[in-house]
Structure 1
Amino acid sequence: MTFLEANRWEQLFQRYFPRLEKFHFQYYKPLNFEYKSPIYPEDPNPFISSFWIERKWILEAEMRSFEVVYSISPYKKRWYDDNSSSEIFKSTRFTVTCLPRQEELEILMMNISSILTLTQIYHLEIPQRQIFSSSLIDIINVLSELDSFKIHSLSLSPTRNSSVEEIALRNVSNKNKITKVCLQKMIEIEEIYYLMKLCPRMNYLQVDYINNINIELFVQDILQKVQNEHNQYLRSLCFLVPTIENEMVKKLEEMIHSQKLFFHYMIKRHYTINRVVNSIYLEWK
């Protein structure tokens, strides 16, 4: 893929456009329908040299209905970014705009394998369709360096033998490196429990829509889960509520205190609750 040879771009810019500040580029590649084992290059991402990092120009990939679009553009703040500096060299994101049907998932896997011949993937987004838990497991299994993912919604309906599913879940949960998860639409609290099991090293969880669930009960259930399972990783929870009562933060504080949700062996743990517009951020140590 000549248009995605980072060294050629560097030479071009350094010779003819040394003061260029913004660069936007897209390369369209037809979907791959033939599986090829990833052959990882010596440099897992040729676009992370000091030249690209200094300019904060990053490589991304997006899978559409008939093509994969590779793009290079200036980095923009993402849902998981905090006030600390982002690791630009680990910012490659893969977005699945058109998620294949369950029986055609192999098409997605083929194209992931093709992308991995060019670059490692650290962030995954599936923003427009519900994904089955088994499919999510299969995708995470091949994205060994994945740090975050955002999905529209999650279906826990079984698509294969339960014992096979349990083995796959255990294997993937043991080895993945995911620390940040966003579920855009939650229907049942069991979906959160599943994500906590799938991503045991998750430290930040964001839920954009809670389906008619009492907010206090939602927070209580998650914190009790953290407490009962001695979860040492999850430390931050963010959830969006369209209409938040003025007293909601106070109610949550009272509930946490009455249920002693931040007491660990009689030691009180420090926590903070903040409201930002229609989002509530709960953090603890």
Structure 2
Amino acid sequence: IKYLFINHYCTLDNLFDILLYTPQLCRVNVKYLCQLHDIILNEIPIILSNLAHITIEELDLPFDVFEIFIKKMTSKLQVLSIGIISMNFTYLDVNQWEQLISQHIPYLSKFHFEHYEKMPSLSNDHHNLLKQFTTFFWIKQQWFFEIHIDTQLNGVLKKLSIPFIHIGHVLNSSILSSQGIQLVISSVDERDHDILLNDYIKSIIISTNITCLTINSSMISCVLIELLEILHNLDSLTISYSSRLLKLHGCSQQSKHHNLSTTMNITKVNMCYVTKIEQVDFILKFCPHIQYSVQMILNYHH
């Protein structure tokens, strides 16, 4: 067996038992991995010389137990993808990750890490942990953090009044600056725009070094202006106009618009599905320091 896909619940003990008898594995995918009781280790090492790729969609283990899982295997792992959906913030400890990767998975080249939390579970202390993932260790690997805000929870719960935060590593994202974090706003209902500007969201933005903003959702211009006012380190802006984005309610925002144009340091702009020249003009007024060509995808469909 070279490829193992477990598309259901699995305990760590059961997975160890399987791995002992499948030494030729190249890839392991597990839907949900957990541990119901204290793990009992034997002295037999799990030698998986060909194992290069591990994906765990939902990982429900303490970090120290996850460390045991990684250390137990003798492999040359190159790709690691995990998703954390819990209140376990130990996975945001940068020192633990750097030590684990350096000492036990040195061949790792692709790392995808997603940490899901419903608001308002994250405290300011947890926001500050994100800053630590912008050190040289992560930059040299081209691994960067994103923060996603989605009030519709992937379009399933449209009545959800509390946004969903998605914090995840992305590999080789060309739009990201070398020492920044990307904020992605998507599937935000217009009725939830006040959530984007509440104290909780502002605390995330202020406590992290967000240099890239991506908007894939409808948004009125005054909300965008207020967001830009607190994104002091913003270097890159990407906007999709595909969902009635940026309704130009700009009359009462002229003074703010002018003030922002003198303080913003955006050097890279991407605009998709542009339908009106006013949309381009509105954005470019914020960006007097553009150093790269504006990329636009025009939408001729009426």
The two structures have a TM-score, normalised by structure 1, of 0.60
Q: Is the 8 A contact 1:99 1:126 kept in 2?
A: no
Deviations 1:70-95 (A, max 9, x none): 112322334xxxxxxx74223x2111
SS in 1 for 2:134: coil
Report the CA distance between 1:172 and its aligned residue.
1.5
SS in 1 for 2:232: coil
Q: How many residues align?
A: 198
- Cα-Cα RMSD: 3.1
Please identify the structure whose Cα radius of gyration is greater: 2
Q: Is the 8 A contact 1:38 1:116 kept in 2?
A: no
The two structures have a TM-score, normalised by structure 2, of 0.57
**Pairing partner for 1:52 from 138, 160, 184:** 138
Stretches of structure 1 that go unaligned for 5 or more consecutive residues are 79-85, 214-285
Q: Is the 8 A contact 2:92 2:130 kept in 1?
A: no
Residues in 2 aligned to 1:134 and 1:38: alpha-carbon distance in whole angstroms: 30
Residues in 2 aligned to 1:17 and 1:212: alpha-carbon distance in whole angstroms: 49
SS in 2 for 1:131: coil
1:193 corresponding residue in structure 2? 281
Residues in 2 aligned to 1:60 and 1:31: alpha-carbon distance in whole angstroms: 16
Residues in 2 aligned to 1:74 and 1:33: alpha-carbon distance in whole angstroms: 26
Report the CA distance between 1:165 and its aligned residue.
0.8
Residues in 2 aligned to 1:170 and 1:33: alpha-carbon distance in whole angstroms: 36
Residues in 2 aligned to 1:157 and 1:117: alpha-carbon distance in whole angstroms: 26
1:6 corresponding residue in structure 2? 94
* Higher RCO by CA contacts (8 Å cutoff, separation 6 or greater): 1
Deviations 1:89-111 (A, max 9, x none): 23x2111122231x432312345
CA 23–212 in structure 1, closer or farther in 2 if over 3 Å, else same? closer
2:234 corresponding residue in structure 1? 146
CA 106–93 in structure 1, closer or farther in 2 if over 3 Å, else same? same
Q: Which runs of 4+ in 1 moved over 4 A?
A: 36-41
**Pairing partner for 1:77 from 174, 179, 198:** 174
Name the aligned partner's letter for residue 173 of structure 2.
K
Residues in 2 aligned to 1:185 and 1:179: alpha-carbon distance in whole angstroms: 20
SS in 1 for 2:114: strand
Name whichever structure is richer in strand by fraction.
Answer: 2
Query: What does residue range 165-204 of structure 1 map to in structure 2 within 5 Å?
Result: 165-203=253-291, 204=293
Name the aligned partner's letter for residue 89 of structure 1.
Q
SS in 1 for 2:256: helix
Name the aligned partner's letter for residue 23 of structure 1.
F
CA 117–28 in structure 1, closer or farther in 2 if over 3 Å, else same? farther
CA 39–19 in structure 1, closer or farther in 2 if over 3 Å, else same? closer
1:123 corresponding residue in structure 2? 212
1:25 corresponding residue in structure 2? 113
